[in-house]
Structure 1
Amino acid sequence: MPSLVLLAVVGLLAQLVDGSLGMAYGVTSSTLLLAIGTNPAAASATVHLSEIGTTLASGVSHWRFGNVDWKVVLRVGVPGAIGSFLGATVLSRLSTDAAAPVMSAILLALGTYLLVRFTLFGLRKDRVGLPLRKRFLGPLGLFAGFVDATGGGGWGPVGTPALLASGRMEPRKVIGSIDTSEFLVSIAASAGFFLSLGSAGIDWKWVAALLVGGVVAAPIAAWLVRVIPPRILGSAVGGLIVVTNVRSLLHHTALGGTPAQAVVLALVAAVWAAAIVWSVRAWRREEAAETAELEAIASADEPVANAAITA
């Protein structure tokens, strides 16, 4: 029972992050399942099965808060479903010994991308409103879906930053649309795992625990996307994924279980802490700059308003 409660809490926290940042439910949940020794294919299948429910709840919540662009959902989600089905088939054919380090490496790459992206660059907002092209959304969905199934997560870490980097959609619409389209990706990935693996290795209690936690968090996350600082959250989640998967990869090398492993992990943790501090300071600078800009605009308008009243 304690393990199921822990999984439910993980599902809740992962969905809070995913629903407010547009990524990291699968990566976070898969990382935990791998850390406790789950077969990589079974871990990814478990996460994607739970995501069928969590992404549906998340999509409905985002829709009700006006965070969804349905054209983007279809244009990126359908190719994403194709890619995730192919990725599930590929992962199912790898042996457990071969798949574990491969999956950890993919998760490490995604975590590093999150950490660097949100720590150093934040979010781009200068091209909001320009149209997104099908020739961009289709290949993006296909690639993100494939990575998502093979890595146990990756739809959000690939899709959300790509759309945010384009600067053509409001951040809340990017997050809501990516979260909603993930419903299609989860169904396709689950179908791929079932055709290749059947139900072998899947613990349905784990699926239910992750699902319950995620469904509870979905509406809260859809609201939080309007108020939470994504830069700080992205750095925190990215660093957690990096530390966990560096540990997993070191376990497969000669450094596993040695003092050198502890030293490496300590250094990585120090970089993670520094990244969070950097993100907090950068966010505060951005907030101060925006406040100063608004005050300057208000000050400039005040004489005009006074003159109009006097006249």
Structure 2
Amino acid sequence: MHVYLPIAEISVNIFLILGMGGMIGVLSGLFGVGGGFLMTPLLIFMGVPPAVSVATSANQIVASSVSGVIAHWRRGNVDFKMGLVLLVGGVFGSSAGVALFTLLRTFGQIDLVINLSYVVFLGTIGLLMLNESLRAIVRSRRPTVRRSKLHQHTWLHGLLLKMRFRRSKLYISALLPLGIGFFVGLLTALMGVGGGFVMVPAMIYLLGMPTGVVVGTSLFQIIFVTANVTFLQAINTQTVDVVLAVTLLVGAVIGAQFGTRLGAKLKGEHLRSLLALMVLGVCAKIAVDLVVTPADLYSVDFLTGRG
């Protein structure tokens, strides 16, 4: 059964889209990520224009994140105070990102920027996470060896505006989570991601938050940042495909509940290693597509009449 996407201007199998939404929902509940780092490339691989994929993925992330937050909140795994600080930075970052997205789209460079951003950020974050998670797994299997602390305080934590985050057991400068939130908000607008693949490692390694609290708090911040991106994209670029977004939402809300239950059964280092492998897989696929010679060397732009 196929459905026509009016903004993307293509027909897609509705059951395939529902399945993709469900899979992303599972990732949301399992890893504390919005799933956009996987959803956006998958939509592009299906033939959806990159600009539409980015804007629509941001919209889909909202529902899957809400579903995941509710499940984690019931378990007491959300630091709302930290989430609000991250959110303030995220709102400013996402607003700046939409403005940059609009500018790049005007110059016709947005597709290239989106693909290159995925390769650079996914590759870097994936390698760092995989390295750390494998080290953690090895240490956990050596009970006689004294385990080192996951987090060490640096001069960044001693900056101005220090705040106490009781749920995360931290007393650090609010400037650090504000900066992380701003950067992730920028990525959300440019890449159509919730930013969880950057947010989760940053919250663990830079802020020093417990892994169990990170997932729910990350999803809480993602809800409002992606909602802001969706609103601004719809107004400024008109690239949000409502039909595609709603179809993805249905599967995502259901999948997030299963992901949350599964995540509660896995260790933190195992979750991080699985996420790292998934990130690197998507990065490799995009990198290959950028360098491999296409089957059709020439195409016609029907909107402008240019070859």
Q: Tell me the distance in 2 between the aligned counterparts of 1:194 and 1:116.
A: 34
Name the structure 2 match of 1:126: 150
Larger fraction in helix? 1
Q: Tell me the distance in 2 between the aligned counterparts of 1:163 and 1:80.
A: 14
Q: Which has the higher contact order (CA 8 A, sep 6+)?
A: 2
> Contact 2:65–2:220 (CA<8 Å) still a contact in 1?
yes
Q: Decide which of 105, 113, 118 is 2:116's aligned counterpart.
A: 105
Q: Tell me the distance in 1 between the aligned counterparts of 2:82 and 2:234.
A: 28
Q: Tell me the distance in 2 between the aligned counterparts of 1:184 and 1:125.
A: 32
Q: Tell me the distance in 1 between the aligned counterparts of 2:42 and 2:150.
A: 37
Cα drift, residue 24 of structure 1 = 5.7
Name the structure 2 match of 1:161: 201
> Contact 1:11–1:25 (CA<8 Å) still a contact in 2?
no
Instruction: Please list, as runs of the form range in 1=range in 2, the aligned pairs for 1:90-239 lying within 5 A after superposition.
Output: 90-95=100-105, 97-122=108-133, 126-127=150-151, 129-153=169-193, 155-166=195-206, 168-198=208-238, 201-228=239-266, 229-239=270-280
Cα drift, residue 50 of structure 1 = 1.5
Name the structure 1 match of 2:40: 30
Larger fraction in strand? 2
Q: Tell me the distance in 2 between the aligned counterparts of 1:221 and 1:125.
A: 28
> Contact 2:95–2:229 (CA<8 Å) still a contact in 1?
yes
Q: Which amino acid aligns with 1:140?
A: I
Deviation >4 Å, runs of 4+? none
Q: Tell me the distance in 2 between the aligned counterparts of 1:143 and 1:163.
A: 13
Q: Indicate the RMSD between aligned Cα atoms, in angstroms.
A: 2.3
> Contact 1:80–1:143 (CA<8 Å) still a contact in 2?
yes
Q: TM-score, normalised by structure 2?
A: 0.75
Name the structure 1 match of 2:75: 65
Q: Decide which of 244, 248, 273 is 2:289's aligned counterpart.
A: 248
Q: Which amino acid aligns with 1:224?
A: L
Q: TM-score, normalised by structure 1?
A: 0.74
Cα drift, residue 49 of structure 1 = 1.4
Residues 115 and 218 (structure 1), Cα distance of their counterparts in 2 relative to 1, 3 Å cut: same
Q: Tell me the distance in 1 between the aligned counterparts of 2:230 and 2:249.
A: 14
Q: Tell me the distance in 1 between the aligned counterparts of 2:105 and 2:290.
A: 16
Instruction: Please list, as runs of the form range in 1=range in 2, the aligned pairs for 1:75-90 lying within 5 A after superposition.
Output: 75-90=85-100
Name the structure 1 match of 2:300: none
Name the structure 2 match of 1:300: none
> Contact 2:28–2:34 (CA<8 Å) still a contact in 1?
yes
Greater radius of gyration (CA): 1
Listed as ranges, the gaps of 5+ residues in structure 1 are 259-311
Percentage of pairs with the same residue: 23
Cα drift, residue 34 of structure 1 = 1.6
> Contact 2:29–2:263 (CA<8 Å) still a contact in 1?
yes
> Contact 1:131–1:168 (CA<8 Å) still a contact in 2?
no
> Contact 2:27–2:256 (CA<8 Å) still a contact in 1?
no
Q: Tell me the distance in 2 between the aligned counterparts of 1:248 and 1:101.
A: 12
